[in-house]
Amino acid sequence: MKVSKIYDINKEVKLNNIKEMKNMENNKISKAKFIKWFEPILNALKELGGSATPRQVKSKIIETMNLDSETTQKTIGKSRVKEFDNDVAWARSYLVHEELISNSERGVWKITEKGQNINMTESEASRIFFKWVDILKYRREAGVYEKNYWLVGAVWDELGDQTDRFISEGIWENGYENKYNDIVNSMMPGDKIAIKSTYTKQNELPFNNKGEWVSVMKIKVTGTIISNYKNGRKLKVEWDKINEREWYMYTERNTIWNITPQNSEDDWMKEELIKFVFEGKKQNYEKFINSKFWNDRYEIENSNNELIPYSREEFLEEVYLKPNDYEELVELLLRKKNIILKGAPGVGKTFMAKRLAYSILGYKDDTKIKMIQFHQSYSYEEFIEGWKPDENSEKFKIENGVFYDFCEQAKNDENNKYFFIIDEINRGNLSKIFGELLMLIENDKREKENLTLTYSKKPFSVPKNLYIIGMMNTADRSLAIIDYALRRRFSFYEVSPAFKDEKFKEYQYSFNNKFFNDTISKIEKLNEEIGKDTSLGKGFQIGHSYFCQLQKIDESEIKSIIKYDIIPTLEEYWFDDLEKVDNWKSILLGEQQ
């Protein structure tokens, strides 16, 4: 036999042995007892419509599997934690790592498309377990706990697009021998990766580009890095299914782009890009076009006049409110039809009100939302109807007020909901503004009762598809107590400072800034003192919105907020104890602890 033939046989035997070892490794069964809950959790979420609270998931598992109390109530360890709850929690964490359950919502478990379609066998559960044990151990030993997000190219100069090869071989490879090597070596198992290509377009865009060329980035496929060969060239990657989508404006042509937010001016754009690439969210064109980078080049209106979708999930991303509280607030508004968001200045009532309307509509449509602000001199004539000078003559004519016109608009579009938002509702004289119509806004009077208007003598009713959202500052001591007539017709929902909220804490810690963390801790202590003050109370606490939507932490900007927003408020609260104000001023500005 020729030597080359012997070599070929030995090579074939070696390859077969490698394949056999890989098959044995893939079929290895884990002894970790909690992986038996992978499939029941996914099945429970499917039966519950795709998302549910942890309690609902566990209840559904108990019901479906007919588990007895001995199984669900058994405790383990010195802390006497329930074994069932503990194992389900561990199982959920691995399902999140594998992206079978979304980790984007607080207090809600949501199954992903990948989770809907997976066949969760015992061997598949074991594969997931061993995969993430190795990845988490690697990252733990490296001292890296936060994952990075990478966008990479796949076109090699002479060989062309390597995307198909990378997917089939389960790898990504740097096409340069002596370029990007250190960056490739820094990419960690568990990091997210996506293949992209960048180009420009002038036509068929989802917004008005005014004839300008627009930078476009196509996302071809996403995946998770499994291991790094540490040769500056090659990564082992577990690729997802191909899902090509186009992203606009904020792009990069370099072969490797780390889009992990890093306390820079463009962090908000990176966060939006991460949601688009790895969570399947739509790009918010309006947000980008309204930014200083593109607002003089493009317009949000497009030829199809399409509305921008806005979901419950997007509301929960923007507003510091727990999912259960959101559901309660929506149910309250739809049932009562009239609510008032009350709370201290700076808790985000106005911000919340408009987005609450968007989330119920399912899209951003300002034609179905009207926002006004009451003040002491606001009148029935402005709100309902009144005599106004006629520009074409020296006489007066009856003109409709803003509420009358909006009610008529809603009546003519009864299949859609309309939202009338009133800021500073308690600053106006409600009896004077609403007049005889105060009764008509009650839920059970909508469209069933008519009243004759004071000036025009026309019959008028309030449509059932119109919802009123009022806002009031509980800290405004110049206002009289709201009368019973208003209280009876509105439900009151308290909006509190969100400094302790889990999502605010994520935002806070994302800056990794000691001064900012110390400031928030001091504000929380200040709020505790305000809450305990018998002349003030919780309604006078400092709101979180003073510190929201910061792109980066500038110590001078934080001190400016304290000096010119918070200290004047404290001076009003404790006008008779300026020594206390001075003490808190020095604490907040870091002059004393």
Residue 367: is it exposed, middle or buried by C-beta count within 10 angstroms (0-12/13-18/19+)?
exposed
**β-strand pairing of 214-228 with 245-248:** antiparallel
- pLDDT above 90 covers a percentage of the chain that reads 33
The CATH architecture one would assign to domain 314-494 is 3-Layer(aba) Sandwich (3.40)
Q: Quote the pLDDT of residue 418.
A: 96
Gap between the Cα atoms of 268 and 283, Å rounded:
12
List pLDDT tens digits, range 309-335.
Answer: 899 998 998 898 989 999 999 999 999
DSSP assignment of 37-76: GHHHHHHHHHHTTTEE-HHHHHHHHHHHHT--HHHHH-EE
**β-strand pairing of 459-460 with 308-309:** unpaired
Gap between the Cα atoms of 489 and 443, Å rounded:
8
Question: Residue 325 CB: number of other CB atoms within 10 A?
Answer: 15
Q: What is the 3-state secondary structure (H, E, C) of 421-477?
A: EEECHHHCCHHHHHHHHHHHHCHHHCCCCCEECCCCCCEECCCCCEEEEEEEECCCC
Q: Quote the pLDDT of residue 18.
A: 41
Q: Considering only 13-17, 62-66, 70-74, 399-403, which range has the smallest mean pLDDT?
A: 13-17
> Which residue type occupies 325?
D
- pLDDT above 70 covers a percentage of the chain that reads 90
- What lies within 8 Å, CB to CB, of 79 at 6+ separation is none
446 closest CA partner among 421, 473, 418, 474: 418
Gap between the Cα atoms of 580 and 574, Å rounded:
7
Name the 3-class secondary structure at 506.
helix
Q: What stretches of 170-237 show up as alpha helix (H) in DSSP?
A: 181-186
Structure token digits, residue 405: 């016109």
Structure token digits, residue 376: 């002491």
Q: Is the pLDDT of residue 199 over 50?
A: yes
H or E segment to which residue 114 belongs: helix 113-117
Q: Is the pLDDT of residue 154 over 50?
A: yes
Q: Quote the pLDDT of residue 1.
A: 40
Q: Considering only 35-49, 75-89, 244-258, 268-282, which range has the smallest mean pLDDT?
A: 75-89
33-142 is classed CATH 1.10.10.10: yes
> Which residue type occupies 405?
D
With both helix axes pointing from N to C terminus, report the angle between 83-97 and 54-65 in degrees, rounded to the nearest 10.
Answer: 110
Judge contact between 258 and 149, C-beta under 8 A. Answer: yes
State pTM to two decimals.
Answer: 0.52
Residue 44: is it exposed, middle or buried by C-beta count within 10 angstroms (0-12/13-18/19+)?
buried
Gap between the Cα atoms of 389 and 393, Å rounded:
8
Give me the mean pLDDT over the 200-212 stretch.
85
What DSSP character marks residue 80? T
Q: Quote the pLDDT of residue 14.
A: 43
Alpha-carbon distances, residue 374 vs 404, 433, 500 (angstroms): 16, 9, 32
At 227, the pLDDT band (50, 70, 90 cuts) reads very high
Gap between the Cα atoms of 440 and 438, Å rounded:
6
H or E segment to which residue 13 belongs: helix 3-26
Gap between the Cα atoms of 391 and 566, Å rounded:
46
Q: Quote the pLDDT of residue 318.
A: 87
Gap between the Cα atoms of 558 and 523, Å rounded:
12
**β-strand pairing of 192-201 with 149-152:** parallel
CATH T-level assignment (fold) for domain 149-304: ph1033 like fold (3.10.590)
Q: Quote the pLDDT of residue 393.
A: 62
Q: Quote the pLDDT of residue 437.
A: 82
Give me the mean pLDDT over the 585-589 stretch.
90
- What lies within 8 Å, CB to CB, of 567 at 6+ separation is 581, 584, 585, 588
Alpha-carbon distances, residue 559 vs 374, 546, 563 (angstroms): 32, 12, 6
- What lies within 8 Å, CB to CB, of 478 at 6+ separation is none
481-506 residues labelled b (16+ CB within 10 A) or e (exposed): ebeeebeebbeebebbbbbebebbee
Name the 3-class secondary structure at 414.
coil
Name the 3-class secondary structure at 101.
strand
List pLDDT tens digits, range 10-49.
Answer: 444 444 444 444 444 556 788 888 999 999 999 999 988 8
Q: Is the pLDDT of residue 74 over 50?
A: yes
Structure token digits, residue 334: 């739809």
Question: Is pLDDT larger for residue 507 or for residue 153?
Answer: 153
Mean pLDDT, the chain, integer: 85
Gap between the Cα atoms of 98 and 114, Å rounded:
9
**β-strand pairing of 308-309 with 363-364:** antiparallel
List pLDDT tens digits, range 450-509.
Answer: 888 888 888 899 999 999 999 988 876 544 455 666 678 889 999 999 888 888 888 888
Give me the mean pLDDT over the 583-591 stretch.
87
List pLDDT tens digits, range 277-303.
Answer: 998 888 988 889 888 788 778 877 544
Give me the mean pLDDT over the 564-579 stretch.
87
Q: Quote the pLDDT of residue 282.
A: 87
List pLDDT tens digits, range 252-265.
Answer: 989 999 999 887 77
Dihedral sign of CA atoms 346, 347, 349, 351 in order: positive
Q: Is the pLDDT of residue 512 over 50?
A: yes
Domain ranges for the chain, please list them.
33-142, 149-304, 314-494, 502-588
List pLDDT tens digits, range 158-168.
Answer: 788 999 999 99
Judge contact between 115 and 42, C-beta under 8 A. Answer: yes
Judge contact between 45 and 57, C-beta under 8 A. Answer: yes
List pLDDT tens digits, range 344-361.
Answer: 888 889 889 999 999 999
